[in-house]
Amino acid sequence: MGEMLKGKVALVTGGGRGLGRAHALALARAGAAVVVNDYGGSLYGEAGDDGPAAETVAEIQRAGGRSLANQGSVSDWASAERMIAETLAAFGRLDILVNNAGISRPARIYRLIEEDVDLLIGVHLKGTLATSHFAAAHWAAEGPAGGRAIINTSSASGLHPNLDGTVYAAVKAATAALTQGHANELAALGVRVNAISPCARTRMVEASPAVLSLMPKGEVFDRHDPDHVSPLVVYLASDQCRFTGRVFGIEGPDIGLYTPWSVDQQITHDGGWTPEAIADSLADLPQQSEVRAFFPGGTTAFRAPPGRSLRALGAV
Ligand code: NAD
């Protein structure tokens, strides 16, 4: 076992597969005891069994680490409370919370069903809030102490929304927003809160041919292996982390730090605006902003909203 997280205790949600499994193994290799939560369900949000969480736990234990499985769903408030309670009962402390559990249900807004909205908000948004709440309540009861960390999971889909994923985009953008808010709320308790926006070939990506085509398997170095994302999670969980309230894009060897939302243009009208004055003042302002996005394949410069959307509007 390594030294970077020696003596620390981590809870990883969705740790039975994909990125969460890689994070749990890496945290354990760095010396942390790890509670692996996973409801073992389908990519689309149907609950499953305890197999995936138990397999990650067995892998950690075979390598000499300390680990415990939890099969609750992060979408359920009481299950989230139990995850924290079981972590404290088993290992006596909680230092690191990795909010990673996720599902995918792509649908264009006019084809959405209520279940898409409820399930996506339930796992990604309510789930992140629920575990963060119970972890933060525990830390607040203990009082300020250094070395605590929450690592949330955002997505390029939320930072740069495109087509067919409006609910997923909304909850992943909300994850970036709550990361900034929680970083401010929890700083006085010694908790760093950051988010990653990963690119890795997992079952979530394999289910989407368009995204999968952007992540071909590398022969010499596979930049989309989930294992390459987890060293960043270990760093963000460690006492060496200098940051809070930030979003880090990561893919293979590349890490990109995002700026928060930032004002691009400003117009002013002394004495207040009329709708006509706004129309006049905005007539010559660019309709698009320059953006640098951390997408599969590396950083990409483009304009938002895309010219395609402006042309589609112009054609109607
Ligand atoms: P994955 O499907 O391989 O793993 C997700 C895991 O979360 C699964 O094991 C699943 O059982 C678990 N899970 C789902 N709902 C749960 C719930 N309610 N309670 C507990 N566990 C639950 O997918 P992945 O690609 O490893 O995704 C991990 C995270 O990374 C997700 O939040 C995803 O949105 C995000 N993400 C992934 C990518 C990528 O390139 N793979 C990109 C951006 C964001």
Confidence of residue 175 (pLDDT cuts 50, 70, 90): very high
CB of 99 sitting under 6 A from ligand 1? no
Confidence of residue 161 (pLDDT cuts 50, 70, 90): very high
Helix (H, G, I), strand (E, B) or coil at 248: strand
Q: Exactly one of 172, 230, 235, 238 is catalytic; which is it?
A: 172
Residue 257 pairs in a beta bridge with 248
Residue 168 is a catalytic residue: yes
Radius of gyration of the chain (CA): 21
Cα(102) to ligand 1 centroid in Å equals 3
Domain boundaries defined on the chain: 9-257, 275-314
Residue 155 is a catalytic residue: yes
Residue 75 is a catalytic residue: no
Cα(315) to ligand 1 centroid in Å equals 38
Cβ-based neighbours of 20, under 8 Å, separated by 6 or more: 12, 13, 14, 36, 38, 56, 98, 100, 101
Cα(307) to ligand 1 centroid in Å equals 31
Cα(43) to ligand 1 centroid in Å equals 8
On the question of pLDDT at 298 being above 90, the answer is: no
- Tokens at residue 205, please? 């990506």
Q: How far is CA 124 from CA 83, 101, 116, 170, in A?
A: 16, 7, 12, 10
Span 186-196, average pLDDT: 98
Helix intervals (H) in 147-266: 156-159, 166-186, 203-206, 209-212, 230-237
Q: Give 41-49 contacts, CB < 8 A, sequence gap 24+.
A: 41/73, 41/103, 42/103, 43/103, 43/104, 43/203, 43/204, 43/207, 44/103, 44/104, 44/105, 44/119, 45/103, 45/105, 45/115, 45/119, 45/120, 45/122, 45/123, 47/73
* pLDDT value at residue 302: 93
Of the candidates 102, 105, 249, the one whose C-alpha atom is nearest the C-alpha of residue 165 is 105
Relative to the CA of 52, which ligand 1 atom is closest? 9
List, for residues 64-96, the tens digit of each pLDDT value. 999 999 999 999 999 999 999 999 999 999 999
- What percent of the chain has a predicted confidence (pLDDT) above 90? 94
List, for residues 215-272, the tens digit of each pLDDT value. 999 889 999 999 999 999 999 999 999 999 999 999 999 999 999 999 999 999 999 9
List, for residues 107-119, the tens digit of each pLDDT value. 999 999 999 999 9
For residues 30 and 54, is the Cβ–Cβ distance under 8 A? no
Helix (H, G, I), strand (E, B) or coil at 47: coil
Mean pLDDT of the chain: 96
CB of 20 sitting under 6 A from ligand 1? yes
160: left (phi over 0), alpha (psi -120 to 50) or beta: beta
* pLDDT value at residue 2: 85
CB of 40 sitting under 6 A from ligand 1? yes
CB of 37 sitting under 6 A from ligand 1? yes
Cα(35) to ligand 1 centroid in Å equals 16
Confidence of residue 47 (pLDDT cuts 50, 70, 90): confident
* pLDDT value at residue 163: 86
- Tokens at residue 151, please? 């690592």
Highest mean predicted confidence (pLDDT) among 206-210, 219-223, 279-283 = 279-283
* pLDDT value at residue 164: 82
CB of 128 sitting under 6 A from ligand 1? no
- Tokens at residue 130, please? 């629920």
34 DSSP assignment: E
* pLDDT value at residue 281: 97
- For 9-257, CATH gives 3.40.50.720
On the question of pLDDT at 150 being above 90, the answer is: yes
